[in-house]
Amino acid sequence: MKATFSPPEPELMTQADVRTRLLTAAEKLFAQHGPAATSIRDLAREAQVNVAAINYYFGSKENLYLETLRQAFRASREVMPRFDALAQEAQATGTVEAAHTALRLYIEEFMKSLFVSDESDRHMRLMAREMSDPTPALDAVIDEFIEPKSNILKQLVAQARPDLDPETEVPFYALSIVGQCLHYRLTQPVILRLMKREKMTSEMLDQISVHIAAFSLAALSR
Asked if 23 touches DNA (CB under 7 A), the answer is: no
Please compute, for residue 3, the number of CA atoms within 13 A of its CA located in the half-sphere on the CB side. Answer: 3
Out of 32, 33, 39, 147, the residue judged to bind DNA by CB under 7 A: 39
Out of 32, 45, 51, 187, the residue judged to bind DNA by CB under 7 A: 51
Q: How far apart are CA 145 and CA 120, in angstroms?
A: 13
Asked if 37 touches a second copy (CB under 8 A), the answer is: yes
The stretch near DNA (CB under 7 A) out of 59-67, 102-110, 168-176, 202-210 is 59-67
CB of 19 to DNA, least distance (A): 8
Q: How far apart are CA 168 and CA 38, in angstroms?
A: 41
Interface mask toward a second copy for 55-94; x: CB under 8 A:
----------------------------------------
Helices (H), 34-146: 40-47, 52-58, 61-77, 80-93, 96-115, 119-132, 138-141
Number of residues binding to DNA, judged by CB under 7 A: 27
Per CB under 7 A, residues contacting DNA are: 2-3, 5-8, 14-15, 17-18, 38-42, 49-57, 60-62
Per CB under 8 A, residues contacting a second copy are: 34, 36-37, 131-134, 138-139, 142, 146-147, 150, 171-173, 175-176, 178-184, 186-187, 189-191, 193-195, 207-208, 211-212, 215-216, 218-221
